[in-house]
Amino acid sequence: MMKIIIRPGTAADVRLIAEFIRSLAEYEKLEHEVTFSEDLLRRTLFGNKRHAEVLLGFLDDKPAGFAVYYFTYSTFLAKPGLYLEDLFVKPQLRGKGVGKALFNRLLKRAREEACGRFEWSVLDWNSPAIEFYQKLGANPQKEWVRYRLDENQIQQLTA
């Protein structure tokens, strides 16, 4: 039986986290969108003002996957929410329980923080992820359309 370990990421893990992000981008065919430096990653994840948290998953002490998440707020519920930004398990290690263990740790974290919601987005073509989330009982939110302004648009609109 393979041993799964889930632990919080630390500043010493930045290189590993960067590798996972690049692997995720490759899987999602979004390598062109990866522009971070490891220094920026270190500052935004582990600096004085942390913008997100990281969980790392290991299978028999080998890095297998990661999850990046942060807390939001629902005015309708007057409660915090947990937003899962990324969950990724190396393709060759999928189906061994690492993704589910990461997800379960996030559920525990959401319960500890009394979150009213636990949300995430998934690419519409990513059927393995969609099937995984549906098996957990998650429901797609069809009535909401996600919008985005990128960094250049933010600069233009505030100029």
Q: E-assigned strands of the chain?
A: 4-8, 53-59, 62-74, 79-89, 117-120
The string of pLDDT tens digits covering residues 53-78 is 999 999 999 999 999 999 999 999 99
Distance between CA atoms of 103 and 118, rounded to whole angstroms?
A: 11
The strand pairing partners of 88, in sequence order, are 66
**pLDDT value at position 37?**
97
Q: What distance in Å separates the CA atoms of residue 118 and residue 115, rounded to the nearest whole number?
A: 7
Query: CA of 74: how far to CAs of 78, 112, 115, 122, in Å?
Result: 6, 17, 9, 21
Res. 148: pLDDT tops 90:
no
Which residues share a beta bridge with 65? 57, 89
Q: Residues 6 or more apart from 127 whose CB is under 8 A from it? A: none
Question: Could you report the per-residue pLDDT of 91-134, keeping only the tens digit for each?
Answer: 999 999 999 999 999 999 999 999 999 999 998 899 989 998 99
Annotated catalytic residue, options 70, 83, 133, 147 = 133
Domains along the chain? 4-158 (3.40.630.30)
**Average pLDDT across the chain, whole number:** 95
Question: Would strands 53-59 and 4-8 be described as parallel, antiparallel, or unpaired?
Answer: antiparallel
Is-contact 83 122, C-beta < 8 A? Answer: no
Split at pLDDT 50, 70, 90, the class of 150 is confident
69 in catalytic set: no
Cα(47)–Cα(53) distance, rounded to whole angstroms?
11
Distance CA 89, CA 98 (A): 7
- 3-state per-residue secondary structure call for 34-45: CCCCHHHHHHHH
